[in-house]
Structure 1
Amino acid sequence: MEKRDLVTIIVCSYNQGSYIRECLDSIKAQTYNNIQLIVADDASPDNSVQVFEDWLNENDYPAIKNFHQKNTGLATILNECLELIKGEYVKVIAADDFLHPEAIEKCIGKLKSMGENYGMVYTDTYGIDDHSNILKDIADYNGMYNEDPEIFRQNLIKNNRIAALTVVMRKEALTKTGAYRNDLLVEDYYRWLMISSLYHIAYIPEKLAYYRLHSSNISSAKTERIDEECLYLQIMFDTTGQFRKNINYKIEQLYLGNKLSKFLQSQFQQYSYKKKRLAWAIQYNISPGLYTLINRYL
């Protein structure tokens, strides 16, 4: 029997003790049987660590443990886990999500069939509630199926079209794109864009994962930060000016609403396809009202 390449699965928890068993059960149930498991917890105040320990003992399942005594943030704990990876392929999953039994088998098969020009693969996913009931589709991922790889690369800059829990990366692609960034909430989106700049990305039009949608709402401040970071990434990766109209419009609306942060101001000034009059107004602190008048009469 042909020996299968080793796949590393990193399970990260923070206050997700209620869901850990379901996640680990799904990993144990994989039809792909050459898996290195790394379990990580970022100093959860709940019983996450105990649930990990109990499940590993009960199932006699080998795993490398990375349990923090002090909360450091997801990026830090993931970067520590990167040093522990032995597999040729890598999946990172939150402990409140879980996998279809054939998820790893099909993802590895897809990457092998597509060749080394493909650095990662992602799939469609179910959305589930706190009780693991399946919800209505959270996105139309299949709309991009069979899309030309170059068109997909450009459209990925427009918005994040990839559910992180479904992704399997080549270790080489992960290594080449560097450490996880602790200054971004949308670090996964940054990772996909970095990998996309070096490789093609494959897609499987099957629901091979279960994404937990919790009832708690995201704060407006967090939503604004995510929107700002996505705009920052669009500015960073739009090297051809394809999205200049959209980027300039969003920056202008933030400026007119007195919501343009100093960070985005500096990033916009470095954008090769910025609207010159807008960049000038921002640079010299022209009031939005005066800027509007200038645009009206010039």
Structure 2
Amino acid sequence: MQQTIDRAGDLAGGARLISIVIPSYNHAQYIEACLDSVYFQDYLNLEIIIVDDCSQDGSGEVIEKWLEGVGTHTASYLSNYNEETGELVRTTHKRYDRQRSISFLRNEKNLGSTRTYNRGFREATGEYCSFVVSDDICHPQMLSTLAKPLDEDRADFVYSDMFIIDDAYRVLKEFRLPDYDFEKSFCNWYLCGVATLYRRSLHLDFGYYDETAMADDHECYLRFAMNGARFLHIPRILYSVRSHENRQEGLHSTTRFNALLDHSKSLVQKARRWRKENS
């Protein structure tokens, strides 16, 4: 099933189109805040692709309600005091007032996170792309900040620092990543984070996320790096990652997370072998 609304043009204000894939699975209590954080980016030309993987907690219905609100919700503010009548005048405006391309896809059966990412990316049309996990929050200037070095052809893949937050939006940790270096970012450990933006041509040239890989982003970005993609770190906090310390959902169940760490260990070893062979 696919639903599309609010189709924007290919170019807004001269800005290259960015495609953001938002995979959704059992994050009903978080998904609206995530969607708002992407929708209200200060970047002009944005394609939002939401893919729900057969959520069992009503996430799909929450997303449908959000989509309806994009077309209908209003907000108001006090804008004038009429001294003659003593009236306080309010101005009403559309709550969602940006031109956005928004697509909502619902998997017919549960595909798992990686295949769900890939379904979204195969629908993407933007020059730049990334995915945002459906319980995370993008800070308002994230995309405009990460797009700038791509526009200037200083990089093919850009990443930034992030907060780790809890359900009350308290900052548990400020996560500062190293400036890019293959050894620091892939040979020591995987240290490119999740606040990313990159050229969609990297997928077209080197493939999508490996659907057999537990650490799918780690594997994919290592593959990009080994094929010559230029990485750049932006030393700014532009994203908030939701803490999963007290939850056992999906990938964050103990068994699956341990399997993910084991796969990342093997990828670190692969990076070390590659560096040695190519030094």
Q: Counterpart in 1 of 2:25?
A: 14
How far residue 62 of structure 1 moved from its aligned partner, in angstroms, is 4.2
Q: Which residue is 2:176 aligned to?
A: 140
What displacement does 1:221 show?
Answer: 3.2
Identity value in percent: 24
* Matched residues, number: 232
Compare the two structures and name the one with the higher helix fraction: 1
- Over aligned residues, Cα RMSD in angstroms? 2.0
Q: Which residue of 2 aligns with 1:262?
A: none
- Structure (1 or 2) with the greater strand fraction: 2
Where relative contact order (Cα < 8 A, 6+ residues apart) is larger, the structure is 2
The answer to whether the Cα contact below 8 Å between 1:153 and 1:200 also exists between their aligned partners in 2 is no
In the alignment, is the contact (CA less than 8 A) between 1:111 and 1:202 conserved in 2? Answer: no
Per-residue deviation, 1:112:
2.1
- Whether the 8 Å contact between 1:119 and 1:195 is mirrored in structure 2 is no
Cα drift, residue 119 of structure 1: 1.8
SS state of the match for residue 8, structure 1? strand
Structure 1 unpaired stretches of 5+: 243-271, 273-298
Q: Distance in 2 between matches of 1:85 and 1:101?
A: 22
**What is aligned with 1:283?**
none
Q: What pairs up with 1:133-282 in 2 under 5 angstroms?
A: 133-137=170-174, 139-141=175-177, 144-145=178-179, 152-155=181-184, 156-164=186-194, 166-197=195-226, 198-214=228-244, 215-216=246-247, 218-239=252-273, 242=276
Distance in 2, matches of 1:55 and 1:241, equals: 47
Match of residue 86 from structure 1: 125
- Structure 1 equivalent of residue 95 of structure 2: none
Shift of 1:69: 3.0
Distance 1:112 1:81 in 2: 23
Which residue matches 1:59? 70
Q: How far has the Cα of 1:114 moved from its partner? A: 4.4
Unaligned runs of 5+ in 2: 1-11, 72-99
Task: Give the C-alpha shift of residue 58 in structure 1.
Answer: 0.6
Task: Return the alpha-carbon distance in structure 2 between the equivalents of residues 5 and 121 of structure 1.
Answer: 15
| Aligned AA (1:35) | L
TM-score, scaled relative to structure 2: 0.77
The question of whether the paired residues in 1 share the 8 Å contact of 2:46 and 2:101 is answered with no
CA distance in 1, matches of 2:253, 2:63: 30
Q: CA deviation at 1:212?
A: 0.4
Q: Tell me the amino acid that sits aligned with residue 187 of structure 2.
A: I
Q: Which amino acid aligns with 1:230?
A: S
Partners of 1:3 and 1:73 lie apart in 2 by 36
Q: Which residue of 1 aligns with 2:97?
A: none
